[in-house]
Structure 1
Amino acid sequence: MSDEASSVPAAQKSGWGQFLKSLASFSGDLSGLTAPPFILSPTSLSEFPSYWGEPKDLFAAIADGATPEERQLRVTRWFLATLSGQFTRREKETGSEKKPLNPFLGEQFLGEWDNGDLVLTVEQVSHHPPITAYRLENKKKGIVWEGNCAQKTSFSARQISVKQVGHGLLKLKLADGSTETYLVTLPQLKIEGLWTGRPYVDLTDVSYIQGSHGLTTTVKYSGAGWISGSSHRHTTTITSGLNGPKLYEITGTWTGESKFAKHSKDKKEGEVFLDADEHVERERVSVKPVEAQNEFESRRAWKAVADGIRSGDYDAASTAKGALENSERQKRKDEQAAGAPFQLRLFDHVPNDPEYAQLAALLKFKPETEDSWRLKPSAGR
């Protein structure tokens, strides 16, 4: 391990070295690999969908677009604005990326903004493979963002690659009573800086935003290479159909400033499209006090673990984490023995979702999975 690993506590360096050796020799999905306690985040992965709601004004503004073209731009702006919070905040706050806690089956995260004008509902709908379902709704504006995400992780070339499996459907009720729908696919991640003990995230590959009106946004991510390039860059195009005429091109960084390029329709070259770092107002999600939460809610269930991580008492965090995970394993064994499999409380499984399949067909690719999850009517908030 490099001497540069200054973010690794002295007492944990041996464990970090063993973890790196385990990574190098591990094959298959890394989700089940145990990380040293000091690299753990005190936050469960079930909280991550709250990042979609933090640029809440940009989310609400989607409904104010007067034309399909303007709404496509607004959905694109909101999507790009969410990325910095999702993928770089923890590095900025703690000095390095931390591994989130793996949610247990049925774990919930319930939050809101603006006294309930914007509401988030999250449930861990599968543990093997790990899948998180979520719904973000602004009832006043008639906007619903509903989706799911799973992660498949692997190690190669001194970095961890994270394939995000899943999608989101954004639905907007228009003034004429019709509904406009947008399919959003998720970026892929790479986590670098492992050998210096300061992991950080960059995005790779491509995301798509496909509107039911036929317009397509393509976001291509590029990061720093061995010789040249800078982190967090993207080139985004909006076209009439996947391979249709180019209407707009936007370039920049998803952590900072993005500008219209010379190809953009009706926009001046260099005109700012989004400044994600300086001018996007973000607001953290509001949740009930831990003592008022139900037993399945994330912050109550993981409190002892989070307290240990935040105080640096990693032995206590590890003990509490093991106790919770063993309890959940026993519940699954008891359910199997009783012939009563676990039932989701908040979401229903929708296999072969036709809404997803219809929009995915416009992108001319076959989705890895067409499954979706929808909030139960009884779970409405």
Structure 2
Amino acid sequence: MPKSQLQCFGEEVYATACDLLSRCNNGRTPIERFISVVAWTISTRRPPTFGVVPFNPILGETHHVSSPNLNVLAEMVSHHPPVAALHATNEKENIETIWCCYAVGKFNGAAVEGKVHGKRQLKLQNHGETYEMNAPSLMIRFLPVPSSDWAGNVVIRCPESGLEAELCYGGQTMFGFRAGRRSAIKGKIIDSTSRKVLYEINGHWDSIVTVKDTNNGEVKVIYDAKEVISGLQTPIVKDPKSVWASESAVVWGEVSEAILNKDWEKATAAKKLVEERQRELARERIKKGETWLPKHFAVSYTKERGWNCLPIQKWVPPSPIQTTL
């Protein structure tokens, strides 16, 4: 794939054809906002493609994009193990997203499960609400037919409202749902205090997802993949001189161009140059006794809590790379 994994990570937040985060913020009640957050969480999943993979980001690589009022910044904060951090802010609406992501692969003979770890938060600061969620696993199956899909359990919690959602992506899970065919999603929204089920969630994350009010049986669409991810435009570089040297498109530019031109020999050579330069920088740091530190995040790790990445700046600055809704 002619792009970096860090770009794919950032696209989960900004690559939408409509402003779902503003819908979250504009909900009149806690339950309206929570349902919108569920829809936004579903929108961060994109159909994976079997057989092609993005580049492994280099240490310190960044991806910085603005999408109208949302400014998104991702940084590769560790290479061994690979850990990526993301900070997205909308200063106009007082919205903030902080993610930390690291995957662990597990091979079971017929498939590889890429379990995604890390803390994910969405803050609607005008409402004093913080939403915490995890991500499903990426399942790469070799038998009986090669394929890749999202699978597993996702929990979304808002401590301030006491609302909680349990989602199942595909297969049988500990929640007791059987989502059914590929891309299916099922779940429920509950009041965490009484454990009462308020809404049932049903659909497919690559088409339509609905919620059913358990009180009156009313069903409504909360997510339409066609509306959200169709007609997306490639980000445009508005000011080339202001693009950071660490930007994914700069780091992997020659490699991506060669892949698009199907010049595999040139792509291989360009990729080796990028990787060898990283090895050289690592040797220089060791020789000088220097420790590399992320530029945009304060990073910590404990065995009990795993990796944690906190942004250094309160607001992400506008980027010279921009996209439109």
Match of 2:152 among 205, 226, 233: 205
Q: 1:104 corresponds to which residue?
A: 58
Q: 2:73 corresponds to which residue?
A: 121
Separation (CA, whole Å) in 2 of partners of 1:87 and 1:280: 10
**Equivalent position amino acid for 2:139 in 1:** K
**Shift in Å at residue 344 of structure 1?**
1.1
Contact 2:36 2:222 in 1 (8 A): no
Which ranges of structure 2 fall in alignment gaps of 5 or more residues? Answer: 173-178, 318-325
**Shift in Å at residue 47 of structure 1?**
0.7
**Shift in Å at residue 368 of structure 1?**
6.2
Q: 1:286 corresponds to which residue?
A: 235
Q: 2:132 corresponds to which residue?
A: 183
Cα deviation code 1:31-85 (max 9, x no counterpart): xxxxxxxxxx1110111222222235111111111221111111001111221xx
How many residues matched?
307
Q: Structure 1 pair 164/216, CA: closer, same or farther in 2 (3 Å)?
A: same
**Shift in Å at residue 155 of structure 1?**
2.9
**Shift in Å at residue 243 of structure 1?**
7.6
Match runs of 1:167-316 below 5 Å: 167-174=119-126, 179-192=128-141, 200-213=147-160, 214-223=162-171, 229-241=180-192, 244-261=195-212, 264-266=214-216, 268-269=218-219, 271-278=220-227, 283-284=232-233, 286-288=235-237, 291-292=240-241, 293-316=243-266
Q: Structure 1 pair 161/81, CA: closer, same or farther in 2 (3 Å)?
A: same
SS state at 1:205 partner = strand
Q: Percent identity?
A: 25
Q: 1:348 corresponds to which residue?
A: 298
Cα deviation code 1:116-144 (max 9, x no counterpart): x1100010000011011001111111111
Contact 1:335 1:341 in 2 (8 A): yes
SS state at 1:319 partner = helix
SS state at 1:152 partner = strand
Q: Structure 1 pair 242/157, CA: closer, same or farther in 2 (3 Å)?
A: farther
Q: Structure 1 pair 141/265, CA: closer, same or farther in 2 (3 Å)?
A: farther
Match of 1:320 among 270, 273, 278: 270
**Shift in Å at residue 350 of structure 1?**
4.7
**Equivalent position amino acid for 1:202 in 2:** D
Q: 1:369 corresponds to which residue?
A: 305
Separation (CA, whole Å) in 2 of partners of 1:346 and 1:128: 18
Separation (CA, whole Å) in 1 of partners of 2:231 and 2:155: 24
Which ranges of structure 1 fall in alignment gaps of 5 or more residues? Answer: 1-40, 353-366
SS state at 1:43 partner = coil
More displaced 10-residue stretch of structure 1: 129-138 or 284-293 = 284-293
Separation (CA, whole Å) in 2 of partners of 1:321 and 1:369: 35
Separation (CA, whole Å) in 2 of partners of 1:378 and 1:208: 27
Q: Structure 1 pair 51/284, CA: closer, same or farther in 2 (3 Å)?
A: farther
Contact 1:222 1:232 in 2 (8 A): yes
Separation (CA, whole Å) in 2 of partners of 1:108 and 1:281: 26
Contact 2:185 2:202 in 1 (8 A): yes
- TM-score (normalizing by structure 2): 0.85
Q: 1:78 corresponds to which residue?
A: 40
Match runs of 1:39-78 below 5 Å: 41-48=1-8, 49-55=10-16, 56-78=18-40
**Shift in Å at residue 236 of structure 1?**
1.9
Match runs of 1:142-157 below 5 Å: 142-157=94-109
Contact 2:209 2:223 in 1 (8 A): yes
Say which structure, 1 or 2, has more relative contact order (CA 8 Å, 6+ apart). 2
